Amino acid sequence: MQHTSTQDTLVGLFVAAGIAGLFFLSFQVSNLSSFTQQDTYTLTARFENSGGLKVKSPVSAAGVKIGQVSGISFDPKTYQSVVVMKIDSQYNTLPDDTTASVFTAGLLGEQYVSLEPGGSDAFLKDNGSIDITQPAIILEKAIGQFLFKSASEEKK
């Protein structure tokens, strides 16, 4: 069976399309999917504990991704974790009494910030701050408290 240049070209195009597909998929999985800078605004929230939250973790409201975490730092004066989030500008109607919580996707999944809108008529603006927050629930701490509680009840 002879190979023609047309067959070689088609096989090459097929392989190139496969590599391009894998490249695209890797960007989607790693949250690096946007090559262009989208129009966003910045919000800040302070947590007692941000757990395993990472830069580029999703920010969601009602289960829909509306942004991502752009920075996490420690405030040495208040001993809190300061989380900076970039929110897509199309979601610029978040009330100023919105609450932020750190949740885990599934039992051992990645952590994300969930925003729960309040009922205020005023909206959060660029460089705004979310004042009402709930820290991450640390699985090890919760299990430790459960075991300690169980042990103290058995002694009675």
Phi and psi at residue 132, to the nearest 5°: -100, 115
What DSSP letter does each residue of the chain carry, written as one string? Answer: -PPPHHHHHHHHHHHHHHHHHHHHHHHHHTT----S---EEEEEEEES--TT--TT-EEEETTEEEEEEEEEEEETTTTEEEEEEEEEGGG---BTT-EEEEEESTTTS-EEEEEE--S-SSB--TTEEE-EEEPPPPHHHHHHHHHHHHHHHHH-
Q: Where are the domains of the chain?
A: 1-35, 40-143
pLDDT at 9 over 70: yes
4 or 21, which is more confident: 21
pLDDT digits (tens, 9 = 90+) for 10-58: 999 999 999 999 888 887 776 555 555 678 999 999 999 888 889 999 9
pTM passes above 0.85: no
pLDDT digits (tens, 9 = 90+) for 57-92: 999 999 899 999 999 999 999 999 999 999 999 998
pLDDT digits (tens, 9 = 90+) for 79-138: 999 999 999 999 989 999 999 999 888 767 788 999 999 888 989 899 999 998 988 777
